[in-house]
Structure 1
Amino acid sequence: EKGGVRRVIDFSTSEVFGRYAFNVTEWDATTLGAVGEARWTYAVAKLATEHLAMNYWKQYQLPAVSIRPFNIYGPRQVGEGAVHHFIVRALKGEPLLVHNDGSQIRAWCYVDDIVDGILLALERDQAVGHAFNIGNPRSTLTIHALAKEIIRLASSSSHIEHVPWKQADVELRIPNIEKARELLAFHPRVDLEEGLLRTIYWYRRHLA
């Protein structure tokens, strides 16, 4: 505790690993991405906060922890995430738009598991001064396969449309979470099918 502050959680991002990240650990090199690609300004900003958080811990003993969430999904999701986009369109019977060939690979993590990881980082003293990958490497699918799975689970009449995408994209992103397992006792519990079913159920009720 420093000045009455028991813990500071810095929300970083898995984007700090750039376009290709297979079984990445917290000790692997981060990347700033190509200059001029708007997508990477987000990653650069998040990486800067990680450096600040860790150095405030070292210099001023501010009890900071950085969390790198990997592809969160679940009820109440907003924005342009693939799961959100696919479920909403599937429930409306609209085409699911997949960028390029859909071979991009992601490890998807249900929101309850992310919250568990954050709470563990708040509660465990050994978390201070560390960055943690929080995700579910067992729930891995390509974007195309994710779209097919959502159509199946939602019993939807939708079909998949592949659309060109020329902006920067992530081809592979799967975390190594051994550090979070060892220091936080973090274990993601919700498998992908169960998480998608819960999410579809929530959207079905709230889109009506």
Structure 2
Amino acid sequence: MTKILVLGGAGFIGLNLCRELLKKDNCRITIGDNFFRGKMDQALLEIAKDPRVKIVEGDFTHPAAFEDLNERFDQVYMLASVVGVKYTEEIPNELIRINGSLILNTLEWLKRVGCGKVLFTSTSECYAGAIEAFDYLVPTPEEVPLCIEDIGHPRFTYAVTKMLGESGFLNYARVFGFECSIVRYHNVYGPRMGFKHVIPQVVQRFLQKENPFRIYSYNHTRAFNYIDDAVRGTILAMDSPRANGQIYHIGDMNAEISIEQLVRLIGEIMGYNGEFHQVEAISGSVSRRCPDTRKAERELGYLPAVSWQEGIQQTVEWYRRYLDEGGHVFE
């Protein structure tokens, strides 16, 4: 029986990861979450019905919360963090405190109890400054120097904590004798991702009949990665013996599109026939981001299967249905 811990397992990526892991035979999953952003909704309740699933609610910024886990796990997925532009701008101090505490407490707990392997989830934000300041290669490979364009800008506090995590997990693993891999996510999206992201926000604005419709940062580009593909890449990085000590970019290097393309497709799906107005970039927003995923393809067999058009169609339809049925806005 493989014992798996998913810290942050009630969140968007975490829940979808747990759902996919449960397709495996002979595994038992513990979900650790404080439910600050993750929520006990119908999707999580369905997973919780499985007798192989245990949910531990706790504030893991406090070391005492780890006492409730009370065992050594074969696999630990570390997804727990505060993420979102809103939080970096409004409470950068809390984001640093929370994410930093989660990382350090998890590392010290692993130092005490050990594990077979840990996977830390990081972000493309870690290298955004290298692209902006030094015109680094796009699509961007894993060996890119990690760089913050403006260390005092609150927008980059999230990236700073993820840099700490990458260094911390790789070095604790090396010193204390457990395996570790890192994945850097690139614009993961899909149903149930919350409303603090560009796709659900655009859906809301179309439903509110905004016209003319403003397209912010219209000429910026992103390579969007559908949740099912991101989860599959995450599990491949955990399960592959070759992945120990490695960093992988998880995304879709063939799905780089402009924000204007994204908004116009959502408008088409929503039946919008009005005008569009282009609006200049928001401060701190990176102009271009696209991962080079050839290392993950070569070493893990990772290839995205869902096109950006198909993924956005599914996501928009989920949000439109959710809101039409009276669903509340959640983070």
Structure 1 residues 79 and 46, CA gap change in structure 2 (3 angstroms): farther
Correspondence list, 1:32-47, <5 A: 32-47=148-163
TM-score (normalizing by structure 2): 0.58
Q: For residues 29 and 8 of structure 1, what CA distance do their matches in structure 2 show?
A: 23
Q: Is this contact kept in 1: 2:170–2:180, CA < 8 A?
A: yes
Worse overlay, 34-43 or 156-165: 156-165
Q: Which moved more, 1:170-179 or 1:157-166?
A: 157-166
Indicate conservation of the 8 Å contact 1:114/1:135, yes or no.
yes
Whole-Å Cα distance in 1 between the matches of residues 276 and 177 of structure 2? 51
The C-alpha deviation readout for 1:95-131, integer Å capped at 9, x for no partner, is 544224x110111111110011111122212112111
Greater CA drift, 120-129 or 179-188: 120-129
How many residue pairs are counted as aligned between the two chains? 207
> Relative to structure 2, which stretch is displaced further, 90-99 or 15-24?
90-99
Q: 1:4 to 1:166 in 2, by over 3 A?
A: closer
1:180 to 288, 296, 316: 296
Counterpart in the other structure of 2:249: 133
**Does 2:118 match 1:8?**
yes
TM-score of the superposed pair, with normalisation by structure 1: 0.91
Question: Aligned partner of 2:128: which letter?
Answer: G
Task: Check whether the contact 1:74–1:195 (CA below 8 A) recurs between aligned residues.
Answer: yes
* 1:60 aligned onto 2:170: no
Tell me by how many angstroms 1:184 deviates. 1.2
Name stretches of at least 5 consecutive residues in structure 2 with no aligned partner. Answer: 1-73, 75-109, 325-331
- Given the superposition, is the C-alpha separation of residues 105 and 134 from structure 1 closer, same or farther in structure 2, using an over 3 Å criterion? same
Residue in structure 1 matched with residue 39 of structure 2 by the alignment: none
1:147 and 2:257 matched: no
Change beyond 3 A, Cα 1:197–1:43: same
Higher RCO (Cα < 8 Å, 6 or more apart) = 1
Q: Secondary structure at the match of 1:190?
A: coil
Which residue is 2:314 aligned to?
198
Q: How much does 1:141 deviate?
A: 0.8
On the 8 A contact 1:91/1:156 being kept in 2, the answer is no
Q: Which deviates further from its counterpart, 71-80 or 128-137?
A: 71-80
Separation in structure 1 between the aligned mates of residue 282 and residue 270 of structure 2, nearest angstrom: 30
- Residues 113 and 188 in structure 1, CA contact (< 8 A), matched pair in contact too: yes
| Distance (Å, rounded) in 2 between the aligned partners of 1:153 and 1:12 | 32
1:30 to 127, 131, 146: 146
Q: In 1, Cα distance between the equivalents of 2:122 and 2:274?
A: 35
Q: Which moved more, 1:69-78 or 1:121-130?
A: 121-130
Measured after TM superposition, the shift of residue 143 of structure 1 is 0.7
Q: Give the secondary-structure state (helix, strand or coil) at the position aligned to 1:151.
A: helix
Asked whether the 8 Å contact 1:147–1:160 carries over to 2, the reply is no
Are 2:200 and 2:316, in contact at CA under 8 Å, matched by a contact in 1? no
**1:17 alignment counterpart:** 127
CA–CA distance in structure 1, aligned partners of residues 149 and 248 of structure 2: 21
Counterpart AA for 2:115: V
Where does residue 156 of structure 1 map in the other structure?
272
Q: State the 1:165 CA deviation.
A: 4.7
Of 35-44 and 76-85, deviating more is 76-85
Identity among equivalent positions (%) equals 29
User: How far 1:92 sits from its partner (Å)?
Assistant: 3.8
CA gap 1:166/1:205 in 2 versus in 1, 3 angstroms = closer
Superposition CA RMSD, Å: 2.0
